[in-house]
Amino acid sequence: MINSFLNSMWGQANALFAPKRKRYLDLLVLVALVGILYGLVIVGKEWTGAQRPSVDIDLHLSALPKYMLFSIVRATVAFSICIGLTFTLAYWAAKDPIAERFLIPILDILQSVPILAFLPPVIIAMLAIFPRSNIGLELSAAILIVTCQAWNMIFSFYQSLKTIPPELEELATTYQLSWYQKLRWIELPFATPGLSWNSMVSVANGWFFLMSAEAFSTGNQNFRLPGIGAYMQTAVETGNTTAKWSAIVAMLLLVVALDRLLWRPVMAWAQGFQMDESLNPERPKSLILSIIRRSRLLRWLEHVRTERLMKRIPNPKVLPKLFPQEPEQRRRAIGFLAAGILMVLLLFLAAGGLKLYKILALVSREDWSRLFKAGGVSMARVLASTLLATLWTVPAGLWIGLNPKWAKRLQPVVQVVVSYPVSLLFAAIAASMLRFHVGLGATSVLLMVLSTQWYLLFNIIAGAQAIPSDLREMGKAFRLTRWKRFTTLYFPAIFPFLVTGWVTATGGAWNASIITEFVSGEGKTYSTFGLGSQLQLATEAHSIPLIAASSLLMAVLVVLFNRIVWLPLYRMAETRYTLDR
């Protein structure tokens, strides 16, 4: 009797106060939306203003919030472009064997091209499209960020699509799902956990190269955009210690804020797509995600958006004509599309190849010999850094991925650490290592590990979390030793994810060689012999032939290594090292 009375009173209290709580949530959401709108207005004025190739960076502390806003918007634009490229290119390569044959090599080449090599063509193209507006320079910075973070996401989604479990494939066949239904209800949910982890590390890599994207030079022109990256670069160049530490603290606060407002809600949401819920009985929570789910204002806006979108969608009877449902017709349509795009790409490649040949003809034999030697040295450093990173990320990633409680505790710490641009500390680390008589050649390997280890760690964590709990329990039931479980279960399960981590980590290490073999800061410059330092020196000397030769050699080395080593490992991951065969 008493219990029923208390329960009824509790229900009445909830009914009385619940709407008020929702009103408070809607008020918070409304304030956030107004703040976002106001920030977009400020950014819009900056983007649409008259073109300013270079701006004077204000090193006062009061200028940091505005610079942080500009950098966040550039990062958001870059990430949106990366998402579009990921869903388009990865899906196309995974579903069409013809497209796979030329898309994967092209992606290998693009991920191996250093960010400095993208500078001249991107700047020239954007300034030609927007000759007077500042939009050209802003988009150039966003595209440069894309070139250092898109490939990890594309390869992650591609690997997930290629390793869909057979039971899910049979489910799609049984229910006769269309390509769109299969993508929405099976493929995207299956790929979401791994793509979320890789998106996080990709965005972190974008922060890593933020200074290069917001403060760059090409030819005789120096471009500088207002942002926290340019603020950091100016503080380092001028030796302003106060401004430098202000930038470090501001970046740390920005990373923590993004973790709380973005990545923690994303990871809590992505956890719901795990195939085996028993691996994580206590799902991670996020206050921001709870507010978003409970806000009536956001639900109303979503309802309005959905209604307007449905009015613009073509008649469903027209869709089969645009996207044929018959496999033979679909393959033929995709083949025609692939052939058309391939022809356009070949025309661009032919024109670019002819121009590149004329530029490379200006490089002497002595320069080629020096670059080949430098390429061999950098290759050794890249492989050494990948090996060192693998030695600690495999056990650490397995331990985090297989222990839900520790994963929940360490995930926020890892997110903050990985998002912080450690390149700010490279000059201090190099100076400290030199005091212990450790040359920059060995130090650059350590700096590469600091730059690329997260590619491996996040992929391994995603792979470990995907191991079915019944197989883990079976290993315990048979009383297998830890080493036996590692060799027969854990390693085969994470191997596809590990290969993706190796590919992206080595590509990132090549890109990082530019700033790890040639470190500037605090009024000093430290350099060691390698292809990255040769490219940096050629850029400072504005030598287009040497920039082209260094970039081409780096791309060739990466592609050859991918074809000889990583591609066979990918095939092995698809055929042998999978839990479904």
Give kind and range of the element (H or E) at residue 71.
helix 64-85
Residue partners of 438: CB distance under 8 A and separation at least 6: none
Q: Answer yes or no: are the C-beta atoms of 57 and 122 closer than 8 Å.
A: no
Radius of gyration of the chain (CA): 26
Report the C-alpha gap between 2 and 85 in whole angstroms. 61
- Predicted confidence at residue 317, as pLDDT, reads 45
Residue 215 is given by DSSP the state E
Q: Answer yes or no: are the C-beta atoms of 113 and 535 closer than 8 Å.
A: no
pTM above 0.75, yes or no: no
- Predicted confidence at residue 7, as pLDDT, reads 45
Q: Answer yes or no: are the C-beta atoms of 52 and 225 closer than 8 Å.
A: no
Residue partners of 378: CB distance under 8 A and separation at least 6: 510, 513, 517, 530, 531, 532, 554
Residues 332-358 have pLDDT tens digits of 665 666 666 667 766 776 776 777 778
Report the C-alpha gap between 469 and 422 in whole angstroms. 36
Domain boundaries, given as residue ranges, for the chain: 2-26+61-285+362-575
CA angle 351, 357, 360 (to 5 degrees): 140
Mean pLDDT, 10 residues at a time, the chain of 581 residues: 41 42 61 69 72 75 86 88 90 83 78 69 75 80 84 85 82 80 86 82 76 67 78 78 82 80 77 61 56 62 55 47 52 63 70 76 89 92 92 90 75 68 71 80 87 84 79 73 81 85 83 80 75 83 83 84 83 69 50
Q: Looking at the domain 2-26+61-285+362-575, which fold is it? A: MetI-like fold (1.10.3720)
Q: Is the dihedral of CA 326, 327, 328, 334 positive or negative?
A: positive
- Predicted confidence at residue 151, as pLDDT, reads 82
Residue 163 is given by DSSP the state T
